[in-house]
Amino acid sequence: MLYTPLAPEDIFPRSDKEVPLREWWIEGRLCLVRRDEDGFFRLERLLSSDPQDFLDSRFQPNRIVATFLL
């Protein structure tokens, strides 16, 4: 919680070059991925209702899931 008279946009400015997220199925689980500056796709978020999926190291955030350019 931030106690400040400033607007959230002043504290956390948005980047002009924000890349949209894409939905990908990775090993049978729906994930959100983002392409970084180098062209790699990195795991941004796992969308699952199974708590065990979040303990699986294959679905850790920022993991490279694809190394090719689209």
**Where in the sequence is the domain holding 25, given as residue range(s)?**
19-66
Q: Which backbone phi and psi does 59 adopt, to 5 degrees?
A: -115, 30
- pLDDT score, position 69: 52
Is residue 23 assigned to a domain? yes
In a domain, 25, yes or no: yes
Residues 3-51 pLDDT 10s: 889 888 888 877 767 778 999 999 999 999 998 888 889 999 999 999 9
Question: Number of structural domains, the chain?
Answer: 1
Instruction: Classify residue 5: in a domain, yes or no.
Output: no
Q: Is residue 3 part of a domain?
A: no
* CA 7 – CA 30 distance, rounded (Å): 34
Q: Which has the closest alpha carbon to 47: 23, 69, 21?
A: 23
Q: Is residue 6 part of a domain?
A: no
Residue 12 confidence (pLDDT):
82
What's residue 38's pLDDT?
A: 85
